[in-house]
Amino acid sequence: MAPSVLYHCPCLSTSSIPPPPHLPSSSYSFHPLYTLFFCEECDAVRCNRCVSVEVSGYYCPNCLFEVPSASVRAEKNRCARNCFMCPNCRNTLSVVPSDPPDSGDGRLSAPISTVGEPPFFLYCNHCRWDSSEVGITFEKPTGLAAQLQKLEDSSPDSLEYERLKEHFEPIIRASSLSSSSSAAPSTSHSHHHSNPITAAASAALARDIPGVAKYTPHARSGRHSGKDRSANKDEMPEYKSRLNISNASVYGSGGGDVDVEFMRRLEDVSEVASLEQRWNYSWSTSLETRDLKPLRIPLHSKRSKRCPACTHILIKPEQKAQSVRYKIKLVAANYLPAITVALPHQVEMLGHISAEAAKRSGKAPVEDDKDARDNLQAGKTYPFHMALTNPLYDPIQVRLSVQRVHVAATVTGEGGTIEKARRPPFAISIPTTPFSIAPFAEAWEYEDDEEMFGLDDDELEARLSGREKETKSKSKTVGVLEKRANVTVVGGEVALGKEARGEVKFNMLVAYTYRSDDPAPSEGHDVSPSKKAETKTFAFYTVVDLGNIIPKEKSRVDPYDV
Amino acid sequence: MAPIRDKFTIHSKAVVCQDVELKGDITIGSGTIVHPKATIFAVAGPIVIGAGCIIEESAIIVNRRKEVMRIGDDNLFEIGCRIEAPSIGSFNTFSTRSRVHHTVRIASFCVIGAGCVLAPADDETLSDYTVVYGPSAERRTWTGKGKVQEADLRRKHAEYLREMLPKFNRLRRGDGA
């Protein structure tokens, strides 16, 4: 397991302190940086679990046609054009003409016309399934959906569904009329708003404005609706289905005696339709593979995400189905510094092993080496490097601090053997002084060391003195190790106790300060809030995972090492 | 091990590019096209390739058995495939990066899907019209519908290549060692 850094999202909880990292249940609140969003209004990190998602458009993944939301319901979430899915391998089907008739003399003749000959059928290029196996052929190569529509509508499941809808519709209409009129005016959440925009709007309308009388449109009908509701709450006309349910399986809807007969005759497991082949269907279908019919391709949706607190849009994709870009893209990677952690001894060993493996004609590295390389040995002290990348166009000052965790060591009965619950005792030392990271800029704007020409004397002096400082700091392992472009590498050390076991994980608080209005770069001096530009500080928690600890003896394999 | 003696018998109508690695006793039939960077190694036994085959770039055809490896007519060996089957019929398609081991004998009109690895432990013969597809190399039988159109397409493909390849690549003329 390579060392990693995950970011903590408080997910609207009141305390911003993350849970202790060694508990398996706390992994829910730590996410990799590329999955997180950042809300500028609330100045907070949002993760995929706390954002509210809404659909921004529907499209067919095959023909990339954007379907307006009105037609989505009409077409039952499937593509209305000629897009079909192979029931066997879920690939897209293409419409092909049949072979030209055999001329009889054994030679394969060329096709007569470019369009091809009827009957046309659907053909899968991947598994070579074609729809003539289930008996579906077409006379024309276009307008297939319409041709299939009649077939689909006459299936017994579909007719049953229509009947159910007709039966329940008047009841639903009556009950919804009575329920909506009795809703309390103070809580607008009882209105079922599918669109958060209208939800936000109605919340704004229902807000208390001092001086304006409260608008209560439902006070008059309140009494009258109560009577209505109690009347028809329990009464509903009985529903009579079209078919007797015990006979339904005969018509291909699965279940019942038909399946039992099929199982008795079963010879090869490939005759049974697999789950992946069956679950895309609207109704339950028969179990046999040869009964699978081509499906219209289900539509996909493009989603936009909003901040749950202030309902500002965080992610908004473009309207066109083909484009993968976003109109609004407030991702955390554009605001928070990206942190990667590496153990230098692992990087070295990896280099050695890959060089050896290349010589040994690509054999996999030996397992022993892997163990020693990937895991940390108890009792040793390891330096680790953290590289922080600044995504902003302004320089930032970063301060790191390790969160103190309560060590609740629970020792179980077996004395000498490994106890899973014991917390590995280790000590982390990281630089706690604030250090700066240069702003992000295009590659050619960075001052390269080779380019000494055309620079002023002052800049040259500053560069030289900067380099001297860097060479001095390289000799120690804890502290700022390197600054290049917009990346700063800091080194820390982890000292493992002799009896340490488990994973080395610690929470780290990263606080960074940036000047939002000042364009001049800072030189790493202490931040003075009395400057004219305003400085903002943002802090977030991360968990740094350095890997597992293995005991000193290499021969023994840790039981819970994955 | 006896040194491999190169003996290439290439039909005059075949199109074999200069950059092809040939080793051993190889016979290439009329109208067959071998793209540059293909590899045909008749390491232990000879290889006989039929007429109208198309062997694309980075395809590797190896014969490590002493018996003759016979490849039929109008087969398509797509980019990156690796074939060691001892006998192959006609009109087969070996898709990109597929691998066929020497334990499998392939009949005609088969399709080995892209990336499929056909490596059974015991000897096996794929019957006509078998389609192998998917990452776990599932199989099914093709009804053969559309084979006339596909055969026609294959021939047109070969014709086009026969016309275009010599314009842009140097050709190797068939001769002995």
Question: What do you get for the CA distance between the two ends of chain A, in Å?
Answer: 9
With 50 as the cut, is the pLDDT of residue A490 above it?
A: yes
pLDDT of residue B2: 63
With 60 as the cut, is the pLDDT of residue B97 above it?
A: yes
pLDDT band, very low/low/confident/very high, at A473 (cuts 50, 70, 90): very low
Question: Does A132 contact B140 at a Cβ distance shorter than 8 Å?
Answer: no
With 60 as the cut, is the pLDDT of residue A526 above it?
A: no
Which of A361, A365, A360, A363 has the alpha carbon at shortest distance from A350?
A: A365
Alpha carbon separation from B91 to A125, B33, B40 (Å, rounded): 16, 14, 19
Summarised one tens digit per residue, pLDDT across range A436-471 is 888 888 777 766 554 444 444 444 444 444 444 444
Mean pLDDT of A508-524: 66
Q: How many CB pairs under 8 A join A and B?
A: 49
With 50 as the cut, is the pLDDT of residue A85 above it?
A: yes
Please check whether residue B136 touches A, CB under 8 A.
no
pLDDT of residue B156: 92
Which of A85, A361, A128 has the alpha carbon at shortest distance from B131?
A: A128
With 90 as the cut, is the pLDDT of residue B71 above it?
A: yes
* 3-state SS string for A458-526: HHHHHHHHHHHHHHHHHCCCCEEEEEECCEEEEEEEEEECCCCCEEEEEEEEEEEEEECCCCCCCCCCC
Q: List chain A residues with CB under 8 Å of B152.
A: 108, 110-111
pLDDT of residue A363: 45
Please check whether residue B167 touches A, CB under 8 A.
no
Yes or no: say if B76 and B53 are a contact pair by the CB < 8 Å rule.
Answer: yes
Within 8 A by CB and 6+ apart from A293, the residues are A87, A134, A136, A285
What is the spatial distance between Cα A300 and Cα A436, in angstroms, rounded to a whole number? Answer: 45
Q: How many CB atoms lie within 10 A of CB A177?
A: 12
pLDDT band, very low/low/confident/very high, at B77 (cuts 50, 70, 90): very high
Mutate to test the interface with A, among B131, B132, B159 (most CBs of A within 10 A): B131
pLDDT of residue A25: 79
Mean pLDDT of A506-518: 79
- Among A100, A126, A128, the residue with its CB nearest the CB of B148 is A100
What is the spatial distance between Cα A528 and Cα A546, in angstroms, rounded to a whole number? Answer: 35
Q: How many CB atoms lie within 10 A of CB A541?
A: 22
pLDDT band, very low/low/confident/very high, at A219 (cuts 50, 70, 90): very low
Choice among A124-128, A264-268, A361-365 with the minimum mean pLDDT: A361-365
With 70 as the cut, is the pLDDT of residue B72 above it?
A: yes
Element (H, E) at A444: none
Look over chain A and give the mean of its residue pLDDT values, rounded to a whole number: 72
Please check whether residue A109 touches B, CB under 8 A.
yes
Please check whether residue B113 touches A, CB under 8 A.
yes
Please check whether residue A96 touches B, CB under 8 A.
yes
Please check whether residue A70 touches B, CB under 8 A.
no
pLDDT band, very low/low/confident/very high, at A548 (cuts 50, 70, 90): confident
H helical segments located in A141-245: 144-153, 156-181, 196-206, 222-232
What is the spatial distance between Cα A554 and Cα A517, in angstroms, rounded to a whole number? Answer: 56
Q: List chain A residues with CB under 8 Å of B145.
A: 98-99, 121, 123, 130, 132
3-state secondary structure of B153: helix
pLDDT of residue A421: 39
pTM: 0.68
Q: What burial class does residue B81 get, using C-beta atoms within 10 Å of its C-beta: 0-12 exposed, 13-18 middle, 19+ buried?
A: buried
With 80 as the cut, is the pLDDT of residue A500 above it?
A: no
- Among A96, A98, A128, the residue with its CB nearest the CB of B142 is A128
pLDDT of residue A422: 44
Yes or no: say if B65 and B101 are a contact pair by the CB < 8 Å rule.
Answer: no
Yes or no: say if B10 and B55 are a contact pair by the CB < 8 Å rule.
Answer: no
- Among A89, A108, A127, the residue with its CB nearest the CB of B152 is A108
pLDDT of residue A128: 84
- Among A108, A121, A127, the residue with its CB nearest the CB of B148 is A108
| Domains, chain A, ordered by start | 4-38+334-510+539-550 (2.60.40.10), 59-155+270-301 (no CATH), 167-233 (no CATH)
Comparing A383 with A151, which gets the higher pLDDT?
Answer: A383
pLDDT band, very low/low/confident/very high, at A220 (cuts 50, 70, 90): very low
Please check whether residue A100 touches B, CB under 8 A.
yes
3-state secondary structure of A147: helix
pLDDT of residue A106: 46
> Distance (Å) from the C-alpha of residue B152 to the closest C-alpha of chain A?
7
Give phi and psi for A496, each to the nearest 5.
-95, 135
Q: List chain B residues with CB under 8 Å of A115.
A: none
Q: List chain B residues with CB under 8 Å of A133.
A: 143
Q: How many CB atoms lie within 10 A of CB A17?
A: 12
Q: What burial class does residue B94 get, using C-beta atoms within 10 Å of its C-beta: 0-12 exposed, 13-18 middle, 19+ buried?
A: buried
The three-point CA angle A312-A313-A317 to 5° equals 175
Question: Does A132 contact B145 at a Cβ distance shorter than 8 Å?
Answer: yes
Comparing B46 with A73, which gets the higher pLDDT?
Answer: B46
Please check whether residue A255 touches B, CB under 8 A.
no
Element (H, E) at A296: strand A295-296
With 70 as the cut, is the pLDDT of residue A233 above it?
A: no
Question: Does B152 contact A96 at a Cβ distance shorter than 8 Å?
Answer: no
Element (H, E) at A259: helix A257-265
- Among A96, A110, A126, the residue with its CB nearest the CB of B113 is A126
pLDDT of residue A562: 46
| Domains, chain B, ordered by start | 7-168 (2.160.10.10)
Look over chain B and give the mean of its residue pLDDT values, rounded to a whole number: 88
Summarised one tens digit per residue, pLDDT across range A329-343 is 999 988 899 999 888
Q: What burial class does residue A194 get, using C-beta atoms within 10 Å of its C-beta: 0-12 exposed, 13-18 middle, 19+ buried?
A: exposed
With 80 as the cut, is the pLDDT of residue B3 above it?
A: no
With 80 as the cut, is the pLDDT of residue A411 above it?
A: no
Which of A436, A422, A439, A519 has the alpha carbon at shortest distance from A486?
A: A439
Q: List chain A residues with CB under 8 Å of B113.
A: 126-127
| Paired residues of B6 in beta bridges | none
Question: What do you get for the CA distance between the two ends of chain B, in Å?
Answer: 19
pLDDT band, very low/low/confident/very high, at A8 (cuts 50, 70, 90): confident
> Distance (Å) from the C-alpha of residue A97 to the closest C-alpha of chain B?
8
- Among A110, A128, A270, the residue with its CB nearest the CB of B131 is A128
Give phi and psi for B73, each to the nearest 5.
-95, 155
Give phi and psi for A317, each to the nearest 5.
-80, 165
With 90 as the cut, is the pLDDT of residue A182 above it?
A: no
What is the spatial distance between Cα A73 and Cα A65, in angstroms, rounded to a whole number? Answer: 16
| Paired residues of A506 in beta bridges | A544
What is the spatial distance between Cα A535 and Cα A493, in angstroms, rounded to a whole number? Answer: 31
Mean pLDDT of A20-27: 77
Token pair belonging to A357: 């493996």
3-state secondary structure of A385: strand
pLDDT of residue B100: 92
Summarised one tens digit per residue, pLDDT across range A265-313 is 888 777 788 887 788 777 777 777 777 788 888 899 999 999 888 888 9
| Paired residues of A31 in beta bridges | A7
**Which segment, A195-199, A266-270, A297-301, A406-410, is predicted with the most confidence on average?**
A297-301
Q: What residue has token string 């579906």?
A: A136
ipTM over 0.90: no
pLDDT of residue A115: 62
Summarised one tens digit per residue, pLDDT across range B43-60 is 899 999 999 999 999 999
Mean pLDDT of B98-116: 91
Mutate to test the interface with A, among B130, B138, B149, B156 (most CBs of A within 10 A): B149
**Which segment, A206-215, A219-228, A432-441, is predicted with the most confidence on average?**
A432-441
